[in-house]
Amino acid sequence: MTATLRNVAIIAHVDHGKTTLIDVLLRASGAFRTGQQVAERAMDSNALEKERGITILAKVTSLNWKDARINIVDTPGHADFGGEVERILNMVDGAILLVDAAEGPMPQTKFVLSKALAIGLKPIVVINKVDKPDARPDFVLNAVFDLFAALDASDEQLDFPVLYGSAKQGWMAEDPGDPRETVGPLLDMVLRHVPAPRTEPGPFRMLATTLEADPFLGRILTGRIRSGSVKAGQTVKALTRDGELVESFRVSKVLAFRGLERQPIDLGEAGDIVALAGLSDSTVSHTLCDPSVTEPIPAHPIDPPTLSMTFRINDGPLAGTEGDKVQSRVIRDRLLREAEGNVALRITEGDDKDAFEVAGRGELQLGILIETMRREGFELTIGKPRVVFRYGPEGERLEPIEEVIVDVDDEHTGAVIEKLATRKGEMIEMRPSGGGRTRLVFYVPTRGLIGYQPELLSDTRGTAVLNRVFHAYEPYRGEIAGRRTGVLLSNGQGEAVAYALFNLQDRGPMMIEPGAKVYAGMIVGEHSRGNDLEVNVLKGKQLTNIRAAGKDENTILTPPMRLSLERALSYIEEDELVEVTPKSIRLRKAILDPHERKRAERAKASAA
């Protein structure tokens, strides 16, 4: 069976066309019926994936081509979800590296390729989007070769096959000037270039790679069978990475991937990627095996988290009015469930049992988790993101540094260089990238990038594109100046009044609209000066029976600052929180009572 089976992952930088290519491959192989309506980017099944146009969770699909079956894994392109990529690559025997014909290799291309080369995969390089007007396939091919060489690829890996094409137009070819009708040449190359799955002798063993919950089947673990076979009704045990027994269970179903569907099969054989149901405690990185097996399959260590946030219960006056999951016990269970399936997350419980420290790969990964939880009905308060420091052998403090590539119009390069320099960034490279644009490469502390994206778009009139990937831990680079303005705080609870907001506009831009619910200690605007100021947004106009001599002025309000979740998290300071509910995102002080807040500030000042 394994001679006609291939396991391959599609790896690429975010937005280089992985999921679109899989749509085309499935159509070309006849996985969809003629005339069948299929959603665009069918593999992005998660609502957030469709909204943001990125892949968050790795997924498996399967297609038949010339008497062979090819299991294809769609991987995330964003480095924040690198934990998914690292685990997935252990399931496959080959990889298709997709590179944009205009942009060329980007930071995440480097990240996913380094992981693939490290475990010995020999990628097929596909230069996608050659139909773009600014495509430069020859330049991109040279850049890809340089990247392979820089990542210490072996001679065999450097001798990679190349295809050119357009996933959107549905063709691949060995010559960019000779477009074909189909993507058949790519599938033919997978059969020729990707080896059959490696299997080992002995009883059933499988390393669990992804975890999901099904309302009918319960927990489902997916992985590649290393040796032996498995069938429904068979008794299997789960071992940790250290070889300790987790549980013994009876497999209720063995599921294989057929197109976009998962179908029950009688027998899963060595080399195939299958999903097992019937487990209760087993999770990712556990070895599922025959009861006679004692040694677990070694699992590759995952890169550690670089950013952490404090998740707390919502203890504000409006708690429980918009969400139905507010208790710390419910929040704790949800976070622990998330950490089971996402090995790149680390959850630790706070001293007061109402707060949890959640560490992950970056702002996007943690932002996606918060957005998912709020859509599920949770109410939370989130603290300011903080980087995870390490300490060297001599006790020196080390911080995470990221490689940042900014593609920007030539006229805005000065503003980008200046801003990243104030954030302790070090410029490594500056070169023209064609079309009146410049590519800037920096090494910047993760701390300095928190909240920089909106500022970059403002400085460059929305024309800059920023990409980033973890580089290394390096010595601490010193303090970075935070927000330079104070905030306007509500001094009472109620609904904001247009008349009050109109009269406060001179103090600074507002963050709320008339009719918004507010409470004492809630942030309602940005102060134009450096200090915080308590204001009354509930004050209405005094109505009398005496007619005014002059005409009443119209209350024309400036539109409020709209803060997205990511922008709000980067905006707050250490003594502030973001209150997240299914309907609202509010900013507030951690200590709502003004007298207690002043006492805490005095205590902090005297301690310093």
Q: Which residues are annotated as a binding site for GTP?
A: 15-20, 128-131
Question: Contact at 8 Å (CB) between 405 and 440?
Answer: yes
Q: Quote the CA–CA distance of 25 and 32 in Å, as a whole number.
A: 10
Q: Quote the CA–CA distance of 69 and 83 in Å, as a whole number.
A: 27
Q: Quote the CA–CA distance of 27 and 29 in Å, as a whole number.
A: 5
Q: Quote the CA–CA distance of 213 and 216 in Å, as a whole number.
A: 9
Q: Where is 371: in which H helix or E strand?
A: helix 363-375
Question: Contact at 8 Å (CB) between 5 and 69?
Answer: yes
Structure tokens given for 547: 């007619």
- Alpha-carbon distance values, 86 to 160, 216, 231, 469 (Å): 21, 29, 28, 15
CA dihedral 356, 361, 363, 367 (to 10 degrees): -60
- Which residue in this structure is represented by tokens 């497999």? 251
In 3D space, the residue among 455, 459, 453, 410 whose CA is nearest the CA of residue 435 turns out to be 410
In 3D space, the residue among 185, 207, 230, 1 whose CA is nearest the CA of residue 92 turns out to be 207
Q: What is the DSSP letter of 279?
A: E
70: Cα within 13 Å, side-chain hemisphere: 32
DSSP conformation letters of 496-514: --HHHHHHHGGGS-BS--T
Collapse the DSSP code of 572 into the 3-class scheme (helix H, G, I; strand E, B; otherwise coil) and give the result: coil
In 3D space, the residue among 230, 231, 248 whose CA is nearest the CA of residue 239 turns out to be 248
- Alpha-carbon distance values, 528 to 66, 458, 525, 532 (Å): 68, 18, 9, 10
Known binding residues: 15-20, 128-131
Q: Quote the CA–CA distance of 82 and 114 in Å, as a whole number.
A: 12
Q: Quote the CA–CA distance of 240 and 286 in Å, as a whole number.
A: 5
Question: Contact at 8 Å (CB) between 380 and 314?
Answer: yes
In 3D space, the residue among 58, 78, 580 whose CA is nearest the CA of residue 371 turns out to be 580
Contacts of 40 (CB under 8 A, 6+ apart): 20, 23
Contacts of 110 (CB under 8 A, 6+ apart): 147, 151, 403, 469
Q: Quote the CA–CA distance of 25 and 167 in Å, as a whole number.
A: 9
- Alpha-carbon distance values, 300 to 91, 152, 200, 270, 549 (Å): 12, 20, 18, 20, 80
Collapse the DSSP code of 337 into the 3-class scheme (helix H, G, I; strand E, B; otherwise coil) and give the result: helix
Q: Quote the CA–CA distance of 583 and 488 in Å, as a whole number.
A: 22
Buried b (16+ CB within 10 A) or exposed e, 470-490: bbebeeebeeeeeeeebbbbb
